[in-house]
Structure 1
Amino acid sequence: MQVLLGLGALALVPGYALANQKSNIPANLAHLGNKTFPGGVALIDLGASSVRPQVFFEGKPVLVLQPAQTDQWWAVVGISLATAPGTHEVTVSSADGLTSQKTFQVRQKKYPEQHIKLKDRKYVSPPAQTLKRIEQELEMQIDAYRSYSPHQPSNLLFDPPSPGRRSSPFGLQRFFNGEPRNPHSGLDIAAPTGTSVRAPADGTVILIGDYFFNGLTVFVDHGMGLISMFCHLSEIEKLPGDKVRRSDVIGKVGATGRVTGPHLHWNVSLNDSRVDPALFLR
């Protein structure tokens, strides 16, 4: 694993498997069932095998796990907000070298709009001299999202990383000072500056930085392409390479970067696709 340091309905198709077949989803994955929409998750039953199969979606490795007390393997596929509704497929490679495809259906979901007024125009239309910084920071963060370590995540049912009100949900179509921008790729939790931010699962800190838009930021690799990003922090309490356990404090809520007030912005990424963190919460 590369450690980085920077400045955050379903139709059955003959010959294929049906994703999110609710009758056989293990109990510890049930909270992720029937969430096959942009920003959601597809659960795909891979069958029984003595060796973990490899799964790829759009060329990127996918989280594959074997729930306790079962002999079945499951693929947990992140579906990005840019994914079009319709039929999609993953490629499955077994230990004997055989390759097959399994399909799943992505249904449409419309997210509401959010209009935000910012006093500082540089966060709406950054000056030319700032664009190089933004590009470099984005490249580092994309590399972190694409990290894939071989260990299985400790848990997929999360506690909120911070107490507080969920002030802005995932997927909002955002407008800053009336100008359209990228959809909201995470969950905002409003909390006072200094409130502890805790890891929702075991992992390794792979990137920290102070970014133009995200402010003080921490990336944690939970394993097999499951990545958490926490930003707008007032303090960072970990360094790249640090191991964290579930509920360990990794930083403090703040108001750094492009914000209108103190809050935690939390991203969850699967196979380099940003998905709704609320799907993973208790």
Structure 2
Amino acid sequence: MMRAATTLALMLACSVALADLPDHRPVPGGVAVVDLGPAGSNRPDATFQDRPVAVREHDGRWKAVVGIGLDATPGEASVRSGGDAFAFEITDRDYAEQRITLDDDEQVSPGEETLKRIRREQEEIHAARDTFSDGTPETMALTLPAEGRFSSPFGLRRYFNDQPRNPHSGLDIANETGTPIAAPLGGEVVETGDYFFNGKTVFVDHGNGFVTMYCHLDEIQVSTGDRVARGDTLGTIGATGRVTGPHLHWTVYLNGQAVDPLLFVEGEDESYNEANGQDG
């Protein structure tokens, strides 16, 4: 626990020095950084699978920064910009398995009335997730939003009461209820809500399809439309929604795809594995 907390403190202090762009990690749940050519006066538009993607100037070049979904099939892929295709290769990545036992069967196999609620909520959640505003984030380097123990890594293949469910789309940070959650980068709060699975939740748009989500909060301390700066309090860790204990579920979205949050934080996933004694 102490080693993990020390690693987290170091990452919080150092991650602002992370390079402007994440590393090129073209795997399911990863990020592809694709060169589009020399930077000119006008930033080009680019798409991946018919969705707009972030484009940033870096070292005098335009770079498309593409989120790759956890369900992506390894193989050749391409970004389209200005009528041209810019190819890259998606390689495979194996994720570990996690089995969770819940006492409340409704949390595993919801009834019809609950399913109606979930469908309504999904529309709101997907709209926030898919936000693509014109603003360009000052950087793509993130600080960790909360102190605590990394309890569940991104990408786990999950089973609830032995029933397969969607892979884990974020990083879980466990700590006591009431622990502050801070914005890892400036942006605008585009949605808040209290959802069946996610509990009390905040979405922050950082611009250009770069969106972060914070779930299972005890208290939400911002409102839709608020502008936040790096370090501003968004709320506190809690145990709302489908949980087994108090923690923050933190998701990073690029072009609507959940990607590994630690690709944007100093130390990447190697620091998580080292802090938790894992080897993969």
Q: What range is the shorter-chain TM-score in? A: 0.7 to 0.9
List alignment gaps of at least 5 residues for structure 1.
Answer: 1-26, 94-98
**2: CA distance between counterparts of 1:92 and 1:165?**
41
Residue 161 of structure 1 corresponds to: 145
5 Å-filtered alignment, 1:112-151, equals 112-151=96-135
1:91 aligns with 2:88: no
Give 2:240's aligned amino acid. Answer: T
Deviation at 1:129, TM superposition (A): 1.1
Residue 3 of structure 1 corresponds to: none
Give 2:228's aligned amino acid. Answer: V
What TM-score do the two structures reach when normalised by structure 1? Answer: 0.86
Residue 68 of structure 2 corresponds to: 79
What TM-score do the two structures reach when normalised by structure 2? Answer: 0.87
Residue 47 of structure 1 corresponds to: 37
Structure with the higher helix share, 1 or 2: 2
**2: CA distance between counterparts of 1:149 and 1:250?**
20
**1: CA distance between counterparts of 2:19 and 2:241?**
36
**1: CA distance between counterparts of 2:51 and 2:247?**
32
% same residue? 50
**2: CA distance between counterparts of 1:162 and 1:34?**
26
Give 1:36's aligned amino acid. Answer: P
**2: CA distance between counterparts of 1:144 and 1:227?**
8
5 Å-filtered alignment, 1:23-34, equals 28-29=19-20, 32-34=22-24
**2: CA distance between counterparts of 1:51 and 1:188?**
39
**2: CA distance between counterparts of 1:65 and 1:198?**
25
1:202 corresponds, among 186, 201, 207, to 186
**1: CA distance between counterparts of 2:196 and 2:173?**
20
Deviation at 1:29, TM superposition (A): 4.5
Deviation at 1:28, TM superposition (A): 2.1
**2: CA distance between counterparts of 1:207 and 1:154?**
21
3-state SS of the aligned residue for 1:223?
coil
5 Å-filtered alignment, 1:243-254, equals 243-254=227-238
Deviation at 1:46, TM superposition (A): 1.3
3-state SS of the aligned residue for 2:46?
strand
1:267 aligns with 2:251: yes
Give 1:123's aligned amino acid. Answer: Q
**1: CA distance between counterparts of 2:213 and 2:201?**
7
1:27-55 CA-to-partner distances (Å, cap 9, x unmatched) read: 8246x224110000000111112210100
**2: CA distance between counterparts of 1:226 and 1:157?**
11
Question: RMSD in angstroms over aligned alpha carbons?
Answer: 1.1
Deviation at 1:223, TM superposition (A): 0.3
Give 1:77's aligned amino acid. Answer: V
Deviation at 1:239, TM superposition (A): 0.5
Residue 110 of structure 1 corresponds to: 94
1:167-214 CA-to-partner distances (Å, cap 9, x unmatched) read: 100000000011100000000000110000011111000000000000
The change in CA–CA distance for 1:241 and 1:269 in structure 2 (over 3 A counts) is same
Give 1:33's aligned amino acid. Answer: D
1:78-137 CA-to-partner distances (Å, cap 9, x unmatched) read: 0000110000011102xxxxx111011000011010000111111001111111000010
Give 2:35's aligned amino acid. Answer: D
List alignment gaps of at least 5 residues for structure 2.
Answer: 1-17, 267-280
